[in-house]
Every structure is written in C-alpha cells, then in structure tokens.
Amino acid sequence: MTFHHRLIFIDNEANKSYLSLKNGDPTMNSSIEEVASSPPKRYFNFLDEVLLGVEFKEEVESKEELVNALHQHLKDIFPNKQPGIHNVLETNVISPERIEQRQRTLVLPNFRDDGVTKQLFFPAPKLLTIRQLKYTSFDEFYKILKQAINAFEQVYVSNTVVKRVGLRYINRIELSGDALDWKNLIKSELISLLKFPREKNEIARAMNLLELTREGYNIRFQSGLFNRDYPHPVVKREFILDYDCYSTEECEIKEVLARADKYHTEIKSLFLNDSILTALKRRLGEV
C-alpha cells in the first residue's frame, strides 16, 4: 500500500510462479503411482506485489540503535539490513527577504530477504511499508505482518499513533492470445472502455479508476490495460487489477493487524465477486 496513489508496476519482478497440487505419494503402490505420474494441476498466481502501509502521526524516531534492535527481532524474515538514510530539507520563511534552510539526516529501517521478495522499509520518514512480491497466501503474509508490527511496537515506543493504514494488492494478469480479448475472463463493466475506439489497434493504454468511500476506510481501484510498452499500441495480453484499501481514521498501532485482516477480506471479495469471471477463477484454483 502506498499513499501516493499511483500505479506501481514492476516489469522485471512479476511473479509468474505456479502453485501445484500434489496428487498422492508415488512410494505407496502401483495404483497410486499411476495417479501420481499424471501431471499435477497447476494454478496461476497473478500477483505482482502486496503492500501494507502504516503512516504514523509523528515522524519516526531516528536512531541507529533502534534500527539495530528492530533488525534483531526480524532478521529471520529480513536477514539483510540496508542503509535507510533520509535527507530531509526544511525551509523556514522568516520574512519575504529572509529564508532559512537546514538539512536533517534520518536513519530508519530498511530490511530485505536474500531474494529481495520481502522488504520492510520507509519510503518517507512517517511511512512504514512492508512489501512482498512472491505472495502465496494471506496467512503467510499475515505472519510476517504480525511479527514486524509487534516488533516495531516494542522497539519504537514513541510511535504508537497511526494516521493511516493501507493494504494494497496489485494483480497483473498475463496470458497468451489477443491482447484486447478479455470478455470471458474479466467482468464486462471493467472492459467496456475497450469498445470506445473504432480502431482497436490505436489503443496504447486503457485504465479505469474507481474510488469508494466506506465507514472508516476508502478503496481506490485501478483496472485495465496499463501497457508496459506505452506509448506504443497494446500488443501484450496483460490486465491490471489494483486494489488499494486504506483507513480514514487514526488508530493505535496495536489495531493495525485487525485492519489489515479486514481490508484483505474486502479486497478478496472485490476480486472474486466483482472483477473476474469463472474461466479466470479456474486458472486461479478458485472453482
């Protein structure tokens, strides 16, 4: 989740992994060996990345000893500690003729795993972000969030008030075939924009933006043909489904996990019930 509200699109780190179902144990008997010898059914995972964003009310305390203490709690998940240096330039207008500037250097956590598939970092001095690329399940991601948030609460005791919590899922559905043919995969409401131009080969990008307001949180939903080759016409069959769910009320850091769980439920419902059709659900193993 980022609070800049821009489409994040990772060209070279897209998750094209498969989740396999194992059918039996080939060491048991011949009948089971026959079943096990059949190619396992494969399900696609179209998630580019999942992000949790926690924006604090106050700037996070900058101390190297705090960074080291947090890393000790989390080094089993994020073994690599990178320099997390922020240079903040502050401007103070004293009068029309007098402007003072000073630069501050902040030291904040920036941890990642060996494969750079999981990361905890601060893109801004108040914004903690936990990011996972090779996502398999919310249960796995939630365990990472729980350990990270609990450790942060223990170490950074002065940062307990959270201004905003956000959870973001970015799906990039990549298939072979006609780049503009999504009629049996994506809900018609989300691809109606493709009917507008008379000359389909002129389409270079076609993105929808929908913002929903709910009690205590908002949802920003982007979908369509982002087109990595923009401004050239669309030639690859790729469709973006980007769900950004974020709070509109302050809370304590101990409430972050409950909100993440709630937002995951909302996003999953929007994805399965309001965005994709049965043919795509079969590819995902949802039916």
Domains annotated for the chain, with CATH where assigned, are 60-125+137-159 (no CATH), 160-287 (3.30.2030)
- Please give the helix or strand (H or E) that residue 71 lies within, else none: helix 64-74
Q: Which residue has the tokens 């922020």?
A: 86
pLDDT over 80 (residue 18)? no
Q: Are 127 and 3 in contact (CB under 8 A)?
A: yes
Task: Give me the pLDDT at residue 97, please.
Answer: 74
The pTM score is 0.81
12 against 233, higher pLDDT: 233
- Res 5 pLDDT > 50: no
In tens, the pLDDT along 90-125 reads 677 777 777 777 778 889 999 999 999 999 999 999
Averaged confidence pLDDT in the chain: 85
Mean pLDDT, range 233-253, rounded to an integer? 96
For residue 276, what is the DSSP state?
Answer: B
pLDDT tens readout for residues 192-203: 999 999 899 999
Radius of gyration of the chain (CA): 22
How far apart are the C-alpha atoms of 3 and 227, rounded to whole Å? 23
pLDDT tens per residue across span 147-163? 999 999 999 999 899 99
More confident residue, 283 or 203: 203
pLDDT of 186 strictly over 70: yes
pLDDT (0 to 100) of residue 114 = 94
pLDDT at residue 75, as a whole number: 96
Structure confidence by residue, pLDDT tens digits, 41-60: 555 678 889 999 999 999 99
